[in-house]
Structures are given as C-alpha cells and as structure tokens.
Structure 1
Amino acid sequence: MSQLILGVHSGSHDAAAALFDGYELKAAVSLERLTRNKGDGAYPDLAIDEVLSIAGATRKDVDVVCHSRTLMPTKYFRNLSGFDWLKEQYRTHLRGKDRRQMMPELFRNNTADTERFYDSAALLRDKGFREGTHSYFYNHHEAHALPALFYSPDWDDALLVTADGGGDNVHYSHRHFANGALTNIYGGEDTILTPAVEDSLGKMYGAATKALGFRRVRHEGKVTGLSAMGRPVRADELAAKFSVDANGRVHSTLNSDREINAFMQSLLKGLSKEDYSASVQKVLEDTMLASFERLLAQNPAKHVGVSGGVFANVKLNRLLAERFGLNEIFIFPAMGDDGLPVGGALAWLLRRDGLANWLKNRRELGPVYLGRDFTATVDGALAAIPNVKRTAEAPVAGTVQRLEAGQLGAIYTGRMEYGPRALGNRTILANPSRRETHDLLNERLSRSEFMPFAPVATAERAGDVFDITKVNRRACRYMTIATDVRPDWRKRIAAVVHVDQSARPQVIERADNPLYHDILTDFERATGLAALVNTSFNVHEEPIVNTPSECARALTDGRIDFVVTNQALYVRG
C-alpha cells in the first residue's frame, strides 16, 4: 500500500524530518544542516520542506504526519486555563517561546491520547497539509528501537534496547523479538503515565560532560575520548548510585536532575579530567553490561539492536559486541533524536499493517545518503567563485598525490549523509601516517577533540587493518563502533589510533561511493597504506556542510587545501 508518510521530531535538540513512500525511505534531514544552528530543536518546517522537495512532493501530497510527543506549538493545546493559560501567554508573548511540552498535558488530562488535548488537525491545516491528512503521535523509545529490527531483514531474533536522557517518561526501553513476535518488556506505552523515575545513565553522562565544562547533548564524545587517558579511581563511588535488578532494569538513587548534577560536580573535585572521565565511562560500561547480561539471560537472542544517545558511545558498543557471543550488533546510524522521524514512520507502518506484514517489508538500510544531491550544481558553483581555481588534475589521481604530500582535502559528492557521522559525501580526508596530522586538523578546523580522527578503509581491506568481524561489520559501515587496530598497523596509521589501540573505522563498498572507494584504492597503491583519515566536513561547533556555498567557504577560509568532486579538483586561486 503506497502512502506518503512524513516523520517529524521537534524537541529541545536534534529536530529532523524523514519521508517514506510506503516502506521506502526517500529522504531524511536534520534541521541543523539547513539552519546552520548546531543541534537545532525548533519545529522543523525547513527540514519538512526539504525532504518533500527531494522526493518531488509538497505538503498537499502527504497522507500521514507522525510527530514525537515533545515540544509542540502552543496554540494547538486544548483546555489551557487559569494559571496554565497565563503561563503560556508569558512564555509565548514575553519570552518568545511558542512551544510547550506534551508530557505535562498527558498527566494533567490522564491520557496518552493526544487528540484529547491537542488539536493536531488545526496544526496540520495551518502548516499547509491537505484536509484529512492523518496525524499520529509515536512513542519516543519505540521509534528509537524499531529501525534496528526493520533494517536487519535476516534477523530471526533480537534484543532491542534503547537508552538516552529521556523520552515519553522513561530513559530506557527493552523489547524482545522471537518466533515472529515482538514483545515489549519495558518502556512502551504501558509506562507513559507512570510516575517518572530518574535512573538515567544518559543524564549522568550528560551531567559529567557539563561538569567538565563541555556542552551536554553535544560534547559527550569528549568525555569518552578523555576516559582512555585516565584511571577510574572514583568509579566505585559513582557505581554505588546505580544498580541493575534481576530483569535488567537500571535504577539510581540520584532522584532528580538537581541531585544528578550536584553529585557529578562533587565527584570531579580533586580529580584530573582524565581520571574523572575514566570513572564515568567505567560506570556506564559496567552498568549497561550488567543490564544486557540479565536481559539476555531472560530474553535469549543472538542479535542486538540499540539506539538512543547512550549508544553514540562507541567504546560501550564495542564491549557489547565482544562480550555476549552475539551474531551481530546493529546501532541505527542516526542513534540520537534526529533518528526519531524514521522510527516514528516505521511505528505508524507497524500499526497500519500489523507485525507479520511489517516484517515481510524489512530491508537493508544501505548507505544513508538521504539529503539533497548537489552533484549537478557543485562544480558550477565552485568555478564561479573568483578565488577558487579548478586544476587540471584528474580527481582521484590529484587527490591521492595531494594527500600523500600531507595536504587536507574534502570530498563533496552526492547526497548529504543522515545522522552524526560523515560517511564519504561530506568528508575531510588526510594522510593517517603521521601523528601530527591530528594536531594539524584540530588547528585548521578549530577543534579541540581528545579522540583521534576516525579512519576509513575499503571493504576489501578493512579486515586486514582492523578487527572486523561478522558481529561488528555492518556497524562499521556506519562508523558507530570501536574496534581494535591490528598490531602491525598501529604505527603505520598513527593519526587514527587511540591510546588504547582502538579506532572507530568506516568500511566503504565501492557500490556505495565510487569516488571515495577509488581514492582509497589508489592511495594504497601509492603509499602502501590501506586507510585514510575521515572526519566530518565541518568546522568545530558547526553542522556538517550541506550546500556548495558552505563547501566553498571552507576552502576559501583555508580550512582545507582542496575539494574534490566527481568532475574535478579545486584549490584556492
């Protein structure tokens, strides 16, 4: 059954939109890539129009709009009166805030039926959708969980786990797929009206990020990077605040955001940043491993699918892959809230068609190049800039020669990636053989990262350089897991090897990105090195580039030495 389904997430961060035609994912875009506001959580009108435009559709063509139950435009809330009404007038008109959280209204009205207190028909009408467009509000953690199962068509069983800073009243969910049935263990609609419990490892990690002077929901990766350089000297003190019950549920004695923040700040006293981070990372790992051990004991599965912000932690993902004798682990590439629109649309399809039909439509995810394709215009745009020069070099040969000489270059080709990782279409490349490359990249890109830059290798050669197995291979395609670097390669590609001898590799198939693959292949012929540095084509605190003009600015600002497209190679002129 063909149906145009729009998934939308609007929240405090990582707003996004995704468009399905039936079960086919046509486009997905994070709002930040369009507004250039990192982590933008506003209502994603621009992203909605972008995914529709990519698919050649308009709002009038949409059949179903799927929203997360989070911050929504205030004027469509029903039955606001008294103090609630006055508060919203202050928020909307005096503070310039025109959105309100849905969860308090679920409790105030004692219902998860959003139509009882939210006029979604009026919202859709005012947003330009046609009369009769169906509105659906999806469950936050179900939307995190479903993509891992849907995009794993060969799985006949799975444990699906989500963990984050919270959504729809919980911080975790557990689901079990076996014998053709999908069972909710914890964190579904059954918990949406239960009293909220602060048991979040995600919030704990975010509070640690803030205590270190970084920005929570943005810089947690810095804590992960620092952790490898320290010792977990106060892990026991933090671990005492968390426990795991016989069913795999995580519990905490830190019962509010204030308690979490205060304790994490006090834990830092007298510690180096490295030892503090190591303590935090160890508690995250040990607690989640204990949870998975008990979940798997009661819900046996050879496949694990995870999502939610906690599973942006590639060190944790590696331990999960190596500890439990799994056949495979899959981390949905857009594991944060920007991935919710995909899962929300899949949740609607599950309700529309039933599990048996939904399972029959499962498919491989493929490359997540789901943004707009500027291939037809990028060369003209670059050539039109006065201080940009097109060279006479062939794209692949010129790129290899320049990388070998130590230059920094960027690939700009095809459709923009979906999710937090640059995967070859908006990617900066560098020679991995020298450790000083790490410092050069940080200087040029105004970054102060503690993790080394990630590597990329071809599917044919990745297993020779990294510990790629059947368990982690598909996760490595999307750069969502850490692996060991094989001993004979550690010094040869020093710029991408962390202090614990691990790396976060991307594995690329030629069918997914011929330009990227051919550069890697020819670079190895020239240097003997079977990997390159791959880092996001962006400047620190800016989103990954989207348009040709953003690409050109990085070149003219001297962030990179050259840009390569399918057609040509460009330098400052």
Structure 2
Amino acid sequence: MTNILGISAFYHDSAASLVVDGAIISAAQEERFTRRKADERFPSNAIRSVLQTGGVLLKDVDYVVFYEKPLLKFSRLLETYLDAAPSGFDSFRKAMPAWLTGKLFQKRIIFDELRRIDRGFKDPSRILFSEHHVSHAASAFFPSPFNEAVVLTLDGVGEKATTTVAIGRGATLDVVRELRFPHSLGLLYAAFCYYLGFKINSGEYKVMGLAPYGVPRFKSLILEKLVDLKEDGTFRLDQSYFAYATGLKMTNARFASLFGQPVRRPDTDPLTDFHMDVAASIQGVADEIVLRLTRSLARDFAIPNLCMAGGVALNCVANGKVLRDGAFKRIWVQPAAGDAGGSLGAALAAWHLKLGGERVIAKQDSMKGSYLGPEFGQSEIEAQLSRAKAVFEVMPPDQLIDATAAALADGKAVGWFQGRMEFGPRALGNRSILADPRSDHMQKTLNLKVKFRESFRPFAPSVLSAHVSDWFDLEGESPYMLLVAPVKQSRHRAMTVSEAAMFGIDKLNVRRSEIPAVTHVDYSARIQTVHVETNPLYHALITRFEALTGCPVLVNTSFNVRSEPIVCSPTDAFRCFMGTDLDVLVAGNCVLHKPKQDSALAMDYRGEFEPD
C-alpha cells in the first residue's frame, strides 16, 4: 500500500490531499480550520485532518509531494526583473529577502513543518516536487471519467507557464503546449478585477457575477489595445498597460487612461453602469479566448473529451459556453480547480507518472462528489452544540427531511450541515445555506441579511439530476456547480416594456422566471445537479421539497458570511447561524430554530475577517 500526501502552500489557498494506491481518500483546505480566507500558510491542520480521515500516520506516508517547483519559479522572477531592469527594482528589492531567507529552501521548510506534526517523519528524501501545471493537469485528468482527453489548464502563472495543453491517455499525461508569463488569461482577468475595485484571488467571482448587468462595449477596445488574440486562441498582452510583472499593482496609469476612469476605490466609489460594462467586456474577452482555444484543440487533436483545471477553469460562464459550443462532446472540470486542487494533482502525478501506478476510471468520476473533507458524527455534533449552549431537537432522518423541506417551502432560510465537508470553493449540499428558489425576495434577503455581501451577486440552483433538462438548457451533468446554462425558456416570465428597458442594478428586482432567486439578470444559472449516488440525504431533501411544491430545485449557497471560509465544524455552523438572519440550522440530526436560541449568543463577527 502506497500512501501519498499532496500539499499546496505559500501563495494562496493552501491544502492537503491523501491518495492511497491511486484512490482519492481525503482532501481539505487549510482556511477551513484556521478560519482565515484563502490561508496560504503551511497546511498543518489540513494535513492532520486528511491523515486522520484516511487512518494514516504521517510517519507511514511514503511520499509527500509539493505542487510546484520553487527553483523554477525563482528563475522566472529573476528573468522577469532582468528583462525589465531598471523598472521594477522596488518590487525586486521587496521580493528577494523572502526568497533568499526561505522560499528557495522549501524542502527544508516542508520537512521541518512535517516534523512538527509527527516526529516519526524522518526521511526528507520522501519529499518530492511536481510542476505547477502538471499538478493542475493531473488533478483534471486522472479523476475524470475519460480514458483519453485533451487537458487544458489556465491560471495566473505557475513557475513559468500560464496556460498548458496536455494529452491524457490511460495512466499517462504528456504536456504538449504551453503559453508563458507574462501572457496570462488569469492575470488579465485579475487586472480587471483590480481595476473594478475587487480583491484579487477572490473578487474574480464578483466580476463574473457583475458582467450580465452590463454591455460589453469595451470588448473590441480590449482586443485592439491590450490583447493580441490569434485565431487559435493563443495571445500576447501589451505589457505597457500592466504593472503585475515587475510592479506592486496590477495595472498602471496608461490602463486607466485607456478606459477613461481611475481604479475604483471599493470603500468610497459606487458601482456604476461603467463598471458593469467593463465587467461584461472582460468576461466577453475571456469567453472568446477560451472558445478559440478549445475549438482549435478539438480540431488539432480530434479527441472528444476535454478536462480543465487552473483558476480560470472556475469561470463557469466560459465553461458553459465551451460545452454549448460543442467542439468537445464532453467536458470535465476539477471541482477544486485552483491551487488547492494542486495538492491533489501533485499526489496523483506522483502515483501515475513517477511510480507508474494503475488508474481506475469511475463512471461519473473519482472525486466522490468532492465530499472529501472531515465528517462529524452525531455524538460530536451534539457535544459541540451543547458546549455552545445551543437549543436543539434531535430527529430521525425521515422526520428531519420532512421538517426541513416544510421550513424551506415556508420561506425559511436554512443552514444545512451534513456529512463530509466539500473540497474546493463551492458548497455542494453538505456545508450549504438553502432556500426556496421561487421566492421573489430571497436573493436580496440572502445577500444582504445572511451573507452580508453585494446585492448583485447571484445564487446557484441545486436541481435533481433527473429534472435538470426540465428547468435548464443543459443536457447532462453539472455536479460541481461549474457550468452556467440558461433557464428553460418555458420557465421564463415575460418582462414588461419598462422592465426590459432597465439598466444595471435596476434589473435585480425584476421577476424573470418561475425560480427568480436563482435566475440571473441574463436568464442564466450556475447549476449543480444532485445525484443520489453521491449525496443521498441532499437528494432526499430536494425530492421532498419537490413533493411539497412541484419544484425540484433549491437555492444553494455556501454556509458562511462574506469573507469567511465555509464552515467546517458544528461550532462554526452554530456561530454563523447566530450571526446571521438564518431561520433554521440543521446539523446532523439536530434541528435548531432561531427563536428558541438565547439571544445573548447572537453576535456580529464580520469584523474578524479581512474584506474580500
């Protein structure tokens, strides 16, 4: 038996994953334990958790694999600064001490950290390094349901590559093409995220959510001035508009002058129609780049399957367009497509590419619904809730499902805490806030009174897999909420002339369909199909809700407030429940109603988190 521990760390969203003889056993992000969003520190807590879940001691781990190669990244930094000298000296001066005192010696740092977890881990030769984009590609292909696939990875930058193409066959994976820094779709999108006043590495979702409110009137300008886009999807960025390569900011004064407005200050500057149009424009450019890439890859390799990973693969709008485009018959996106998933890919790459281990292909995939984190038994849930002074009732499963479905049908917002925690940025029905999608006011209520976030941000529908095509223009599966598709035309509500003439945020309060709480202003939805095989309890809940309402869909958003990591433990769940306007909390078989709780336990803890 070969135990392989994968690690990602030191940039953002550190994580750990355990693979045993090629089987994915457990995976978790460090942020869930430390309660620090996108925590980049060494994932000591995540390592302890995944090993405990797998029943493996660290001293018995055969290989520990880090998800990238620090020396390659350092050489890229040196090349970049030398090419741009003397520009960027200030950035160079600030970056070098961290590298010269630590980052260049990551094997020693990793070994020392592992020894703090388990003094029995004594052999540093068991620590291996995978290349960043190989880790991404491995995380996409090896868990996929395909024996053969084109594998496309897109992100900001790894060591040197920003985009790679690999061909996966069986247990092999060969990188055949790459695009290198500073030409990066991830960094282009991040530059616009910065320009719009959102935080990089978390605000990209906001840009994507804001885009449908605007008109892409700057798309041609971006393609004319900033991006030299070729027919095959390859591109070059005009660096005279950007500062990310050698500076301390993403864009410069020339960038702002091109669009005619300065960088938006999030604390003082409101979102205007201009910002919505900029968001629509960069999303349109991203869609165009990804579509040109995927069309050319489908022509060149004549393989019907596509796998995707890297942070850009979390852009579910672009993913949905790739699927509907039809150049590839099937696509599969790693649910933890960002750097957290690199920990899993590093472990899988070691098993298959270094050790020559066999690959077993699962019918749906090998991710087990991405329910790979820790699980809390009923006795532990009750103990934690009791320590928190919660008032709860314990119900048998059937009664629990009935009571929760009835609360949802009655318009209640429900915190739903069950089973193993999800791996990746999406709550998929185990650490979720649930609500009735038929409600006209639920999107606004959840955004402003539960999530405490911007009112324009959309919510996702969870739909029974057997009914997805009855409600959405999607044929097939979307278990990881990584595909956007239109709401079925037959479910639309026709807008009045005055409603259709609205612009920007004014569109928000228009009832657009039978399920307005999950229908974005462009009639799209970010869909999660729910399958009885991977989550029977959640499937049963939606089935019961359908019996009560005729609607096999629920609002599903992550169980947290703005800037907070998704809840991990029952204690986290109760704290979030008491700090928001959630009506009901269902944790394991425990049911909690807000009016029955001690009001003195209510708290506003949003100030503890750095704004996203």
Q: Which category describes the TM-score, using the shorter chain as reference length?
A: 0.7 to 0.9
Query: 1:518 maps to which residue?
Result: 540
Query: 2:163 maps to which residue?
Result: 172
Between 18-27 and 267-276, report the one with greater CA deviation: 267-276
User: Tell me, what secondary structure is at the counterpart of 1:57?
Assistant: coil
Query: 1:145 maps to which residue?
Result: 137
The 1:13/1:267 distance shift into structure 2, 3 A limit, reads farther
Query: 2:148 maps to which residue?
Result: 157
C-alpha separation between the residues in 2 aligned to 1:208 and 1:447?
20
Does structure 1 conserve the Cα–Cα contact (< 8 Å) formed by 2:298 and 2:328? Answer: no
Between 333-342 and 297-306, report the one with greater CA deviation: 297-306
Query: 2:431 maps to which residue?
Result: 426
The 1:90/1:204 distance shift into structure 2, 3 A limit, reads closer
Q: CA offset at residue 122 of structure 1?
A: 6.5
> Structure 2-normalised TM-score?
0.80
C-alpha separation between the residues in 1 aligned to 2:66 and 2:256?
35
Q: Tell me the matched-pair count.
A: 528
Q: CA offset at residue 124 of structure 1?
A: 5.3
Does structure 2 conserve the Cα–Cα contact (< 8 Å) formed by 1:411 and 1:565? Answer: yes
C-alpha separation between the residues in 2 aligned to 1:538 and 1:323?
35
C-alpha separation between the residues in 2 aligned to 1:466 and 1:247?
31
Q: CA offset at residue 56 of structure 1?
A: 2.1
Does structure 2 conserve the Cα–Cα contact (< 8 Å) formed by 1:7 and 1:345? Answer: yes
Query: 2:183 maps to which residue?
Result: 199
Q: CA offset at residue 98 of structure 1?
A: 9.9
Query: 2:381 maps to which residue?
Result: 378
Amino acid at match of 2:235: V
Identity of aligned residues (%): 30
The 1:559/1:295 distance shift into structure 2, 3 A limit, reads same
Query: 2:206 maps to which residue?
Result: 222
Query: 1:396 maps to which residue?
Result: 401
Does structure 2 conserve the Cα–Cα contact (< 8 Å) formed by 1:23 and 1:361? Answer: no
Per-residue deviation, residues 441-499 of structure 1 (Å, max 9, x unmatched): 012221115232101111222221122214xx1xx111111011112334211110011
Amino acid at match of 1:242: V
C-alpha separation between the residues in 2 aligned to 1:55 and 1:132?
22
C-alpha separation between the residues in 2 aligned to 1:468 and 1:44?
37
Note the aligned Cα RMSD (angstroms).
2.8
Unmatched runs of 5 consecutive residues or more in structure 2: 72-92, 262-272, 493-512, 597-612
The 1:146/1:89 distance shift into structure 2, 3 A limit, reads closer
Q: CA offset at residue 226 of structure 1?
A: 1.2
C-alpha separation between the residues in 1 aligned to 2:116 and 2:389?
43
C-alpha separation between the residues in 2 aligned to 1:564 and 1:389?
9
Does structure 1 conserve the Cα–Cα contact (< 8 Å) formed by 2:139 and 2:346? Answer: no
User: Tell me, what secondary structure is at the counterpart of 1:410?
Assistant: strand
Matched, 1:59 2:58: yes
Between 435-444 and 62-71, report the one with greater CA deviation: 62-71
Q: CA offset at residue 120 of structure 1?
A: 6.7
Q: CA offset at residue 121 of structure 1?
A: 6.1
C-alpha separation between the residues in 2 aligned to 1:211 and 1:398?
46
Alignment map for 1:128-143 (pairs within 5 Å):
128=119, 129-131=121-123, 134-143=126-135
Between 130-139 and 523-532, report the one with greater CA deviation: 130-139
Q: CA offset at residue 326 of structure 1?
A: 2.1
Per-residue deviation, residues 416-444 of structure 1 (Å, max 9, x unmatched): 10000001110111011123101110122
Per-residue deviation, residues 11-59 of structure 1 (Å, max 9, x unmatched): 2211001011111111111010011000110111221112112222222
The 1:101/1:238 distance shift into structure 2, 3 A limit, reads farther
Between 487-496 and 278-287, report the one with greater CA deviation: 487-496
Query: 2:420 maps to which residue?
Result: 415
The 1:126/1:436 distance shift into structure 2, 3 A limit, reads closer
Per-residue deviation, residues 213-233 of structure 1 (Å, max 9, x unmatched): 110100111111111111111
C-alpha separation between the residues in 1 aligned to 2:323 and 2:344?
24
Unmatched runs of 5 consecutive residues or more in structure 1: 73-86, 106-113
Matched, 1:27 2:32: no
The 1:156/1:392 distance shift into structure 2, 3 A limit, reads closer
Amino acid at match of 2:187: K
Indicate which of 289, 293, 300 corresponds to 2:291: 289
The 1:390/1:254 distance shift into structure 2, 3 A limit, reads same
C-alpha separation between the residues in 1 aligned to 2:96 and 2:150?
45
